[in-house]
Amino acid sequence: MRCPVCGYEDTKVIETRLSEEGFVVRRRRECPKCGARFTTYERYELGPSMVIKRDGRRERFSRDKILRGVMIACEKRPVPYDEVEKLVDRVILKLQGMGKKEVETTLIGELVLKELRNLDEVAYVRFASVYREFDSIDHFLETISELKEGKGREEER
């Protein structure tokens, strides 16, 4: 692994840890040349190989696109980055469990929404507004009332 500070090519691993789920390896590294310390992550290549967009186009599956969308929805919210990473990992594991090589982006969006609903309601509404292409205030109000109704049902249990 090349040092991001000085470019030296032979860094030393000083600590290795597995994530709780065991799908990600975190390594602390140190450069013997400049002494810089940094962290790297190793993860399995998970998920389908292709996604089918709404307009029928196909493109390579990208974990980073899911992560970026969730991060935007969670911006300025009290949601720890680790929780966002775990959410994305859960979505990808569900997709992988389906055993499909190609999946529709609509399926990915619905899985993300289910996870976001449990994580942060504001992030859920933000993501839903882009994913479901809200074009009026009524769409926001419908989504918020669905959230409230669902919460009321959970409190009754």
List, in sequence order, every beta strand (DSSP E) within 5-54.
12-18, 24-30, 37-43, 50-52
Bridge partners for 38 per DSSP: 29
Residue 18 belongs to what domain range?
1-44
Assess whether 85 and 9 both reside in one domain.
no
Assess whether 34 and 22 both reside in one domain.
yes
Q: Is 96 exposed, middle or buried (0-12, 13-18, 19+ CB in 10 A)?
A: middle
User: Looking at the domain assignment, is residue 116 inside a domain?
Assistant: yes
Assess whether 108 and 80 both reside in one domain.
yes
For 87-121, write each residue's pLDDT tens digit: 998 999 899 888 888 999 999 999 999 999 999 99
Task: Work out how many domains the chain is built from and give that number.
Answer: 2
Q: What is the pTM of this model?
A: 0.69
Q: What is the pLDDT of residue 148?
A: 85
User: In percent, how much of the chain has pLDDT > 70?
Assistant: 92
Assess whether 66 and 9 both reside in one domain.
no
Q: In angstroms, rounded to a whole number, what is the distance separating the alpha carbons of residues 3 and 57?
A: 39
Residues contacting 29, CB < 8 A, separation 6+: 1, 11, 12, 13, 14, 37, 38, 39, 40
Q: Could you tell me if 23 and 15 are in contact, meaning their C-beta atoms sit under 8 angstroms apart?
A: no
Instruction: Give all strands of the β-sheet with 24-30 in edge-to-edge order.
Output: 12-18, 24-30, 37-43
Pick 150 or 29 by higher pLDDT: 29
For 60-96, write each residue's pLDDT tens digit: 999 999 999 999 999 999 999 999 999 998 999 899 8
Half-sphere exposure of 106 (CA within 13 A, CB side): 5
Assess whether 88 and 134 both reside in one domain.
yes
Residue type at 140 in one-letter notation:
F
Assess whether 33 and 105 both reside in one domain.
no
> How would residue 24 be classed by pLDDT, with cut points 50, 70 and 90?
confident
Q: In angstroms, rounded to a whole number, what is the distance separating the alpha carbons of residues 132 and 155?
A: 27
Chain Cα centroid distance, residue 65: 8
Assess whether 36 and 99 both reside in one domain.
no
The token pair at 5 is 């500070």
Averaged over 50-56, what is the pLDDT? Answer: 93
Highest mean pLDDT among 45-54, 70-79, 145-154: 70-79
User: Looking at the domain assignment, is residue 156 inside a domain?
Assistant: no
Residues contacting 17, CB < 8 A, separation 6+: 25, 26, 27
User: Looking at the domain assignment, is residue 157 inside a domain?
Assistant: no
User: Looking at the domain assignment, is residue 97 inside a domain?
Assistant: yes
Pick 25 or 48 by higher pLDDT: 25
